[in-house]
Copies of this chain bind each other. A is one copy, B any other.
Amino acid sequence: MRIGAIEAGGTKFVCGIGTERGEIEDRVSFPTERPETTIANVIAYFKDKSVDAIGIGTFGPINVNPGSPQYGSITTTPKPGWADFPFLETLKREFDVPYGWDTDVNAAALGEATWGAARGLDNCVYYTIGTGIGVGVYAEGKLVHGLVHPEGGHVLTRRHSQDAFEGICPYHRDCLEGMAAGPAIEKRWGAKGSELSSEHPAWDIEAFYIGQAVTGTILLLSPQKVILGGGVMQQKQLFPRIRSEVLKNLNGYVNTSDILEHIDTYIVPPGLGDNAGLLGSVALGVRALS
């Protein structure tokens, strides 16, 4: 099978061809411009590829309600031209194949559950922590949409006792994203995270916020694996700190060896590494076919 995959980001689009075994056979990347231009690039790429299905994991918020006239579009975004642009419909007019359509983070969660760190599991959450913070939820073998779709990057967290930073979320000021996304680190410390040493106090504070959000996710959803990806999580010194925060927060309450004894393999980076996004879209395409 030849699965077309689109990883649609706010900065760049990655298109590729994958297989039902999770291999990537080809890929291209181009900047995200106005939708007419960008989607024309997408169409040009797939034109001679004879794909059997296309999976799209995209930035959002998006409409994932198949019963809605707006299904398949990005809903509200400051990116010029993209709000309400009929993303999926435009592609459907060109390629008459089954489509998978979901958020980038739900796609990544599905990819990880299919071929990555949560392979074979029915429940995982995928956090991307970078310019923003997003959460994909895969529960009992299904990607969760509900009313809209998860927006777990904006949960409220307690403030770190040594942290006077006001937060930068335009909606909630000091929610998780407002306190812990990449731009919050940069504004708080006057330097990008990648410029701070691995022993800088920034990382204890960062782990405090992420650890709180992960704790809440474990309590509410009981995932079998928590996967933390995105640019900020390239700072690998965060992982032991986050695990430690989670154990401290839970304080033995969730009585299972996966957490109490094996947290190193419970809270993990993406098993698919830099391919998590594109393979997530491949997984959406595979699921659309079956």
* Chain B residues within an 8 Å CB radius of A146: 122-123, 139-140, 221-224
Point out the residues of chain B lying under 8 angstroms from A258, CB to CB: 147
Give the interface segment out of A85-93, A150-158, A187-195: A150-158
CB < 8 Å neighbour of A219 from B122, B152, B159, B253 = B152
Stretch at the interface among A11-19, A27-35, A210-218: A210-218
A212 to B220, CA, bound (A): 13
- A151 and B221 alpha carbons, distance in the complex (Å): 8
Contacts of A135 in B (CB 8 A): 220
Contact (Cβ within 8 A) A151 B76: no
Chain A interface mostly helix, strand, loop or mixed? loop
Count residues of chain A with CB under 8 A from any CB of chain B. Answer: 51
Q: Which listed residue (B75, B249, B254) contacts A156, Cβ 8 A?
A: B249
With A76-B255, A255-B61 already in contact, the answer to whether A222 and B158 are too (CB < 8 A) is no
Tell me which residues across on chain B come within 8 A of A162, comparing CB atoms: none
Chain B residues with CB under 8 Å of A290's CB are: none
Other A-B pairs, 9, CB within 8 Å; known A140-B143, A147-B224, A147-B254: A123-B144, A135-B220, A139-B139, A141-B142, A146-B221, A148-B256, A149-B222, A152-B219, A156-B216
